[in-house]
Structure 1
Amino acid sequence: MQEFDIVIIGGGPAGMAAAIAAREEGIEDILILEREEQLGGMLNQCIHNGFGLHTFKEELTGPEYAQKFADKINKLNIQYKLNTMVLELSRDKIVTAVNSEDGILEIKAKSIILSMGCRERPRGAITIPGSRCAGIYTAGTAQRFVNIEGYMPGKEVVILGSGDIGLVMARRMTLEGAKVKAVVEIRPYSSGLKRNIIQCLDDFNIPLKLNYAVIDIKGKERVEGVTIAQVDENKKPIKDREEFIECDTLLLAVGLLPENEVCRKAKVKLSDITGGPEVDESMQTNRDGIFACGNVLHIHELVDNVTVEGYNAGKNAASYVKGVRFDGEKVELLATEGVRYTVPNYINPKNIDQSIDVRFRVENVYRNSYISIYFDDIKECSIRKRILTPGEVETLKISKAMLEKHRNCKQITFKVEEE
């Protein structure tokens, strides 16, 4: 059995940032396990720009952003294994993995960092009626076909879901010569960034049909068209508001899920809301010495925020290896009344030097509202927001002074309060 100080599962932006941070903290014995043939994760197929504005103060494509980190990984001589699938993680921090070169591997770690990223919801998760013909892809699969494999999925396209990957693929398919006939969204708002709505849909005159759902798929061998219908407040189709759109391709951009199957045997506690691990201020899970960061934790809209979480996880995992323990009494963070979830889920006030960033998403679109923070039943602050949308992760700071002011606090609650 091989032994390492830190084993990082996943070599995307979060995993690479974690490895770099741990090495810069003096940890030499680090191993990254990556199932793809190169480091970088999903960034390698995201050839559009817009990455790195916060981290590098310049606008990069996904592969360029990933390469900056991969170059640093190589410069620091951090070990990594590619084409390596992690099969299992035990509570004793033993990783079982497999690849064609080594066969079955068993690796013992002092600390584990989970950075496996996320996966797309498939058609089966949303149960669209209709035939099971060719021409139905997840948006990420289509992105890989076009940007890496060099294949066009189709010529006349309907996209279901208006998250960022759906919006980006609407533009990409258009630039490659396809006709994107509509982006269909069951909710009354897009779940993507505002800039992507403008740059990917508005600039190309691609219609965004809000409050609509795909209710049928026509076609025997290949998709011939889809029937969409406007939905009511309960998301039920309205019969006289149906429309048939001829197309040969349906792309599904219906959400992402943290890729956390290996967490289960290790008894890592998962959030019912995000599907990712619950963590404290150090990015440590409920399992001592197991940390999590990036899209395996919760779905981000900016890779720069993924990178920040990776740095934090790597730095704290290094401290753990050196003997620091992030234990002690913790304060629970609660998301209620319009706030969907928070990350972290717990804070140990003793471990906060000056302040901690709390990231969260709201459940709906709110205008001219306030995000209020309560320490138990005492409102500590209320911050006015011109607009809050589920498509964008918000960040608020909890300061050391706040925590010291409410020393005996048991819960910190985040709420949306309207005027």
Structure 2
Amino acid sequence: MRRYDVVVVGGGPAGLAAAVAARAGGRCSVAVVERDDALGGILNQCVHNGFGLVTFGEELTGPEYAARWADAALEAGVEVLLGSMVLDVSAGPEGPGVTCVSAERGVERLEAGAVVLAMGCRERPAGALGIPGFRPAGVYTAGCAQRMVNCEGLLPGREVVILGSGDIGLIMARRLTLEGAHVACVAELMPYSSGLKRNVVQCLDDFGIPLLLSHTVTRVEGRRRVEAVEVSRVDGAGRPIPGTEARYPCDTLLLSVGLLPENELSRAAGVELSPTTRGPVVDDSLMTSVPGIFACGNVLHVHDLVDYVSQEAARAG
């Protein structure tokens, strides 16, 4: 067992900004617990630019933005525990604490004066959509495909349909096109795109990729591998309109249908969650309903820009 003044769960943009802010006075001990083997979180797979305009006044890629915060954390004297999976966050008689496990150190307990939850968010998976058909290979979330292409050098498919016009889906439409795949269309259930306007222009319009508003995927064909998807127009209530079906032959379906705050640890710790944001309920200092446990970033609510994540996390720290 070890004791710190502050333990931050998550080494992404929120966790790093919170840790740097907590160490700003130079008098407290701060540890960041990160399950991956490198700091930066999801930014490490976001090789496109557009980050840092608010925070640094210049346009950076995701890895560049992450590297600046990682360097700042290390220079500030933050202790970093990589490859460590947090199993439990709980409040004890002397304050909150974190139980984590790693291959190097085994199971250990980190007692703290305060814990900052900065686990980020996750994508809504295929199982949440209830699309008719079998469960063939070739159905990915957009973030999973992004990691495959940008970090592992793998192309998920050659003929692609994307469901959902979230920013990750829009960016992957461009990324896959640049890698030689053909993106047949991006289907969006709502009558407007859920992504930033600049991404619609730069990722779809500039590459001639059609955006089908008020459309959704109503069937996936194929048993072993995706062979085609059926895309239908929907009415004002989001229900498919019979007779509007169009078949798109493809070997890959990407899902960009929303992000959810990653709050299993928060719930297990007894933190009250908001039914609106699905993140913790916090006060003006970003403390949750459990004394000594704070939350910030996308684990609190999904942000449009990572710069806003860093600003909010600095307040929590």
The TM-score, its normalising length taken from structure 2, stands at: 0.98
- Separation (CA, whole Å) in 1 of partners of 2:23 and 2:89: 23
Q: Does 1:54 align with 2:71?
A: no
Aligned length: 314
- Separation (CA, whole Å) in 2 of partners of 1:16 and 1:61: 17
TM-fit CA distance, 1:77: 2.0
Deviation per CA, 1:214-255, whole angstroms, max 9, x where unpaired? 010011221111001101111111111110001110001111
* Cα-Cα RMSD: 0.8
2:163 to 154, 160, 164: 160
2:117 to 111, 114, 117: 114
Q: Does 1:86 align with 2:86?
A: yes
Deviation per CA, 1:143-186, whole angstroms, max 9, x where unpaired? 00000000000001000010100111011001111100000111
TM-fit CA distance, 1:107: 1.1
Correspondence list, 1:360-375, <5 A:
none
- Separation (CA, whole Å) in 1 of partners of 2:115 and 2:91: 11
- Separation (CA, whole Å) in 1 of partners of 2:249 and 2:314: 47
Code of the aligned partner of 1:178:
A
Query: What residue ranges of structure 2 are gaps of 5+ in the alignment?
Result: none
Code of the aligned partner of 1:248:
D
> When you count strand as a share of all residues, which structure comes out higher?
1
Structure showing greater radius of gyration is 1
Correspondence list, 1:198-237, <5 A:
198-237=201-240
The aligned counterpart of 1:76 is: 76
TM-fit CA distance, 1:13: 0.5
The aligned counterpart of 1:186 is: 189
- Separation (CA, whole Å) in 2 of partners of 1:158 and 1:20: 41
Code of the aligned partner of 1:33:
V
Q: Does 1:66 align with 2:62?
A: no
- Separation (CA, whole Å) in 2 of partners of 1:193 and 1:157: 21
Q: Does 1:18 align with 2:21?
A: no
The aligned counterpart of 2:36 is: 36
Correspondence list, 1:2-401, <5 A:
2-92=2-92, 93-314=96-317
- Separation (CA, whole Å) in 1 of partners of 2:111 and 2:77: 20
- Tell whether the 8 Å contact from 1:136 to 1:251 is kept in structure 2 after alignment: yes
- Tell whether the 8 Å contact from 1:91 to 1:265 is kept in structure 2 after alignment: no
- Tell whether the 8 Å contact from 1:5 to 1:27 is kept in structure 2 after alignment: no
Which one has more relative contact order, counting CA pairs under 8 Å at least 6 apart? 2
TM-fit CA distance, 1:117: 0.3
Query: What residue ranges of structure 1 are gaps of 5+ in the alignment?
Result: 315-419
- Separation (CA, whole Å) in 1 of partners of 2:289 and 2:70: 30
- Separation (CA, whole Å) in 2 of partners of 1:122 and 1:201: 23
- Separation (CA, whole Å) in 1 of partners of 2:261 and 2:82: 21
TM-fit CA distance, 1:264: 1.6
Partner secondary structure for residue 238 of structure 1:
coil
Code of the aligned partner of 1:187:
M
Partner secondary structure for residue 70 of structure 2:
helix
Partner secondary structure for residue 264 of structure 1:
helix
Structure 1 stretches (4+) deviating beyond 3 angstroms?
none
- Tell whether the 8 Å contact from 1:17 to 1:307 is kept in structure 2 after alignment: yes
- Tell whether the 8 Å contact from 1:187 to 1:211 is kept in structure 2 after alignment: yes
- Separation (CA, whole Å) in 2 of partners of 1:259 and 1:152: 27
- Tell whether the 8 Å contact from 2:97 to 2:115 is kept in structure 1 after alignment: no
- Separation (CA, whole Å) in 1 of partners of 2:170 and 2:91: 40
Query: More deviation in 25-34 or 175-184?
Result: 25-34
The TM-score, its normalising length taken from structure 1, stands at: 0.74
- Separation (CA, whole Å) in 2 of partners of 1:120 and 1:227: 22
TM-fit CA distance, 1:11: 0.5
